[in-house]
Amino acid sequence: MRNRSPRAYLASTAALLIVLFYALIPVLWLLSLSFKTPATVSDRKFIPQDVTFENYTSLFAGGLDSALLRPLINSISIALIATVIAVTLAAFTAYAIARLDFPGKTVILAGALAIAMFPPISVVGPLFDMWRTLGLYDTYVGLIIPYLTFALPLAIYTLVAFFREIPWELEQAAQVDGATPWQAFRKIILPLAAPGVFTAAILVFIFAWNDFVFAITLTSSDSARTVPAALAFFTGDSQFTAPTGNIAAAAILVTIPIIVFVLIFQRRIVAGLTAGAVKG
Amino acid sequence: MTAVPAGRKASRKRGGPAKTSDRTKAERKLAYMLCAPAVIVMLLVTVYPILYAIALSVQRVDLRFPEESGFVGLDNYVAVLSSPLWWQDVFNTTLITVVSVSIELVLGLALALIMHRALFGRGLIRTSVLIPYGIVTVVAAFAWFFAFDPSSGFVNSLPFIGEDKSWFGDRGSAFSVIIMTEVWKTTPFMALLLLAGLATIDEGLYEAAKVDGANAWQRFVKITLPLLKPALLVALLFRTLDAFRVFDSIFIMTRGSQDTESVSILAYNQLISRLNLGLGSAVSVLIFIIVLLIAFAFVRGLGTAVPASQGEKK
């Protein structure tokens, strides 16, 4: 099928370069801005003339009162907690859907799909009001709950797709060979299920890490505000200096985990993203 | 409610034994226990709040004037639907959705075909397209904002572009940058879904078409597009609904100035900035209804697409 003529190689190289350029240009621009001094931030050059780390260090000056440290801790904690809970709940549900026979299966899957399409802005007002009454406004829990809701459909669909592929007979086979149920689960099922669980976890983490709508509407201070929301409220050292360098530096910092995930787990991310769609 | 027992009866007839055995009962019980937590969390933050939003939308609830609260019927809806701002924002949101999803579809399909046909560097391409997908939307918005910003951006130093063009100073150029940001961020998602669709197409079909003398364009139009239709519709559905919620990039780039406000920004302004929960909830409910209508239209489209492709297989 594939012709391996020099022309085809040339076309492939060109395509590769275009895609790389397309994907990386804004990230490289942020990286460049983040190393520029206030004097050279407007020079429009891609290579910074005098390199400075000031934009990064000043984000953390003052410890917990600094511009970024608290939001960064909040972002990491909230995304991790939401990921663990969402994947656990989704794993229970996906196991039931993939393995057990019960009426209401399709209702749950259809409901999850409906929630994946649900506009978050439509529940922001009621949540804002409810959370203030319940004392959840501006707290970790107040953000984790909506993140769970909107991440669960993605996690359930990914896990159902993975769990359906697992040869569950192996569990009984192991028990016939003398393994205890726990051994059968730990030695046979867990290793087979782990990739799916991991994929779901990455997708949920990226979702929670990314959210902005809930982060700015359900928080009012640094006690629960995550990095995307904090970035939107960044101010310069004085009202006359735009915090361009600082914002660029903070933006680069929150992008690093995503780039690391993508580099290590790209196959899994692609498999998870397309798990539900291919069968549809 | 009545549909469930009817369905049970039907499955019982097919299943043979008239009575559900203890084992089946136990299995069902376990299944419901396993599903309950996730279902409860999902309902708790969608169904209950949307009902609550509907309740708020027929009341006057302004947190700045708490004592003036009370039932006002459909007054909030009348106020929203008769305001030019709402229709302006519906137009803006529709414009952003239609233009960005169309560009994404073309670019995403091109990208998917490149990834599908690339001789080498597939891993590198996949890694680089996943970066826009994974990057925080607010960061993407800042990246493009700083690129186009007249004081710090590099775009104005490019040839054929005015040295001091103020991109966020007028509606047309502000929209272009917002749409560009959306396209940059979400084309990879479209491309990956379409790539998965391409992988399901039997290569033998192309060989057969080649033997019959079909050229590359004919193969694309007669084989690729029809067989890709289900994947295309799924990708379009998710992207359209996602684009309709556009909020982050507008919030960062213009905050809705120069008439670039979207319906989500309008809801945010009413609910959070003005604390007018009644009016804001009416906007929220209207957005919900629009999303429902879009989803319904697509699902009907999908419904007609899927049986057709299944029919071909038989």
Read off the pLDDT of residues A57-107 as tens digits, 9 standing for 90 and up.
888 877 777 778 889 999 999 999 999 999 999 999 998 888 888 888 888
Residues A103 and A147 both lie in one domain? yes
Residue B64 has which token pair?
């700045």
Residues A73 and A200 both lie in one domain? yes
Residues A69 and A163 both lie in one domain? yes
B69 in any annotated domain: no
Residues A184 and A228 both lie in one domain? yes
Residues A118 and A44 both lie in one domain? no
CATH code: domain of residue A84: 1.10.3720.10
Residues A34 and A164 both lie in one domain? no
Give the residue from B57, B130, B161, B228 with the most A CB atoms within 10 Å of its CB, the best one to mutate. Answer: B130
Residues A260 and A193 both lie in one domain? yes
From chain B, the residues in CB contact with A115 under 8 A are 42, 46
- For residue B60, list its beta bridge partners: B70
For B239-294, what is each residue's pLDDT tens digit? 898 889 888 999 988 887 778 888 999 899 888 888 888 888 999 999 999 998 98
CA–CA dist A196, A103 (Å, integer)? 25
CATH code: domain of residue B227: 1.10.3720.10
CA–CA dist B62, A9 (Å, integer)? 64
Q: Which domain holds residue B87?
A: 75-309
Residues A144 and A89 both lie in one domain? yes
B35 in any annotated domain: no
User: Taking each helix axis from N to C terminus, what angle separates B84-117 and B277-313, rounded to the nearest 10 degrees?
Assistant: 30
- Whether ipTM > 0.90 holds is no
The reply to whether A202 touches chain B by the CB within 8 Å rule is no
- Asked whether A69 and A60 are in contact (CB, 8 A), the reply is yes
Pairing of the two strands B59-60 and B70-71: antiparallel
The answer, yes or no, to whether residue B18 has pLDDT greater than 60, is no
- For residue B112, list its beta bridge partners: none
A57 in any annotated domain: no
A258 in any annotated domain: yes
Residues A42 and A142 both lie in one domain? no
What pLDDT is attached to residue A193? Answer: 84
Lowest-pLDDT choice from B86-95, B165-174, B299-308: B299-308
For A16-33, what is each residue's pLDDT tens digit? 888 888 888 888 888 888
- Asked whether A197 and A161 are in contact (CB, 8 A), the reply is no
For B280-289, what is each residue's pLDDT tens digit? 899 999 999 9
Q: How many domains does chain A have?
A: 2
Closest CB to B46: pick one of A129, A149, A258. A149
The reply to whether A206 touches chain B by the CB within 8 Å rule is yes
A58 in any annotated domain: no
- Asked whether B119 and A235 are in contact (CB, 8 A), the reply is no
Residues A90 and A191 both lie in one domain? yes
Segment-wise mean pLDDT, segments of 10 residues, chain A, 280 residues: 69 82 87 83 78 82 80 92 93 88 87 85 88 90 91 89 84 84 81 85 90 91 88 68 81 88 81 61
A8 in any annotated domain: no
Q: pLDDT band at residue B13, thresholds of 50, 70 and 90?
A: very low
B189 in any annotated domain: yes
What pLDDT is attached to residue B308? Answer: 42
The answer, yes or no, to whether residue B305 has pLDDT greater than 60, is no
What pLDDT is attached to residue A242? Answer: 65
A101 in any annotated domain: yes
Cβ-defined contact of B284 to A123 (cutoff 8 Å): yes
Which positions ≥6 away from A44 have C-beta within 8 Å? B152, B153, B154, B156, B157
For B173-225, what is each residue's pLDDT tens digit? 888 899 999 999 999 888 888 888 888 888 888 888 888 888 888 888 888 88
B13 in any annotated domain: no
From chain A, the residues in CB contact with B234 under 8 A are 277, 280
CA–CA dist B188, B76 (Å, integer)? 40
The answer, yes or no, to whether residue B303 has pLDDT greater than 70, is no
Cβ-defined contact of B138 to A228 (cutoff 8 Å): yes
What pLDDT is attached to residue A236? Answer: 59
Q: How many domains does chain B have?
A: 1
The residue ranking higher by pLDDT, B65 or B253, is: B253
Q: Which domain holds residue A35?
A: 15-52
The residue ranking higher by pLDDT, B41 or B162, is: B41
Q: pLDDT band at residue B6, thresholds of 50, 70 and 90?
A: very low
Q: Which of A97, A218, A224, A248 is nearest to A166 (CA)?
A: A97
What pLDDT is attached to residue B7? Answer: 39
Residues A149 and A237 both lie in one domain? yes
From chain B, the residues in CB contact with A104 under 8 A are 4, 32, 35
CA–CA dist B133, A258 (Å, integer)? 9
Residues A37 and A164 both lie in one domain? no
